[in-house]
Structure 1
């Protein structure tokens, strides 16, 4: 029997004034921006559901725990964004190019299993962005003007895969232990001196290691531009909540473009690196060599999760710039343009000051 396709709950309207209720960052409630009415988001007390991996890697399991959502594809940067029903107009959060509502299409996705709700609101993120822009030297005036308009800063949920597994590995290698020999060598002045030379004694080693891999985090989207910087790509996954649609209200949600199978292959590479570190730790000594390793993963599960960022997209002289703020901890990172004329006049000023100093010195 085919499992039922789970549907995301419809957007809720305020019982008082009919406006859309939106998620209030840092809480577990949705609220009305107009009259202040609030409602609690009901969180599943059973926690997250870890989905068994291998049925999803086969075609028959592809539609389990899935739903149909409306999407807009940005033809400029390639981002896929979930469309909310009340949007009159929309710009891509990454590159600020206009998106045409009539281009919306329906697409299946694996329903998120968990979400890390925004912990800071749009006003806080905007203040962080303003402070950062003001700290930039030689920034164009147009950029500083953009920093005065909150519409340039939008909240976005990013898709990630997480993988859990039991790891087992057997290895053959060598344990190296350092020892030192004293040699007589001639130094730069031609004098004979004693010198300590480090050497390594190698001993055969083999064994087995095992352990649990918890929440290996793999990015699930990629675009031609707008790559999320590593500096802000660190979230406290202990704050994950079981997925509820209310947490998405008022924010844009990006759909994964890296399929589960590709994400799983990447997680296996990370698992192999972890296994080798465990093997080296098991070998001990001063240095180690792992000549062969047989790694096996069992009890593999995964989740599709959503993580929060604020994005400010800005175009300057035909080039795209992005500024990213972690929606949980407020870390900021971004690329920035430079003003040629500001740099030019500063250089002229410095040269003029140097010229005056030289003139008076003579």
Structure 2
């Protein structure tokens, strides 16, 4: 399979996407090639998904010839770009990236890889329980920039509900010869209808990185996506989706139904003091999806024989990740807490 060859027209060097300029930039002579930045909100009807799937994702590795050194390079089923291990040339398989579904939009990297060191340092400094040695553990060579696939969903949800609405009142009663008051709630049957409009609910379509970390990452500006162009992939890894749109949509609906529940609760609480026993049914309409490529940096490191993973939002630099806890710092925190409680108890009983 032929790969895209992003070579500088001036010196023949490799052109890589530069997050600062938003263009291709030659790593040798710094010549720039402007990239199109056409915003798009192209989306598809949910019911048309199966029609668009022409074939299943291949489980076989792809063998591609490097356009620079001629070496034959293996690419895993989920990879659409990587560096040649022999000459460091970028290999981008744009035709493979669209072999199942063409991405409907892309959000390019804004954070440069060279900024990750400072971001990591600031992040780990705020992790008080992390061992001090982690501040010097950062290695730029272990950072990987990846365009991860995400599903984005839009729909309308009309819900009919029943619930119990409670109205509080104060009543007096006698106890031990004293008159006291208490709050009593009277419950009433209520019903109603609410409407929710969901836009740009995104769900990851990759299983490569830690799912819990990706769910905590967020912050992508998916309202302003750019038309897909394989040149944005140059210098970065990328993946095709491995989680189907249908599965992603079912997971997205779980998030949507949580919001529907809160909307119903708020609707009841406009008229009552309390709410309980909410039950509802949803009619979904105007259901659309998009396949997006979003920028993420991934970093793994080992400490005392255990591996930890960090992911970084390639748009805004937000970091979420795992890190070891220092037993010494935890012990100090426990001791300080015991001392504080002891002093509090002393002064309260003084």
Shift of 1:49: 0.7
Aligned match of 1:327: 314
Aligned match of 1:208: 193
CA deviation digits over 1:80-134, x for unaligned, max 9? 65243642169xxxxxxxxxx9xxxx78432221222212101111221234456
Aligned match of 2:85: 88
Partners of 2:209 and 2:22 in 1: how far apart?
A: 35
Aligned match of 2:67: none
Aligned match of 1:166: 156
Unaligned residue ranges in structure 1 (runs of 5+): 1-7, 73-78, 91-100, 187-191, 351-362
Aligned residue-pair number: 307
Aligned match of 1:176: 166
Aligned match of 1:218: 203
Shift of 1:163: 0.7
When the two structures are superposed, what TM-score results if normalisation uses the length of structure 2?
Answer: 0.74
CA deviation digits over 1:315-355, x for unaligned, max 9? 33442211222212222232224678xx59x99xx9xxxxx
Of the structure 1 ranges 227-236 and 297-306, higher mean CA displacement relative to structure 2 is found in: 227-236
Aligned match of 1:292: 279
Aligned match of 1:276: 261
Partners of 1:334 and 1:13 in 2: how far apart?
A: 36
Aligned match of 2:10: 16
Pick from 88, 108, 117 the counterpart of residue 108 of structure 2. Answer: 117
Shift of 1:214: 0.5
CA deviation digits over 1:208-249, x for unaligned, max 9? 222321011212222485752554333233443232223222
- SS state at 1:257 partner: coil
Partners of 1:48 and 1:224 in 2: how far apart?
A: 26
CA 1:13 to 1:201, structure 2 compared with 1: closer, same or farther past 3 Å? same
Partners of 2:58 and 2:217 in 1: how far apart?
A: 30
When the two structures are superposed, what TM-score results if normalisation uses the length of structure 1?
Answer: 0.72
Pick from 218, 225, 232 the counterpart of residue 247 of structure 1. Answer: 232
1:1-362 residue pairs with structure 2 within 5 A? 10-44=4-38, 47-56=40-49, 58=50, 60-63=51-54, 81-84=78-81, 86-88=83-85, 108-133=99-124, 139=131, 146-147=137-138, 149-186=139-176, 192-223=177-208, 227-228=212-213, 230-283=215-268, 284=270, 285-337=272-324, 343=328
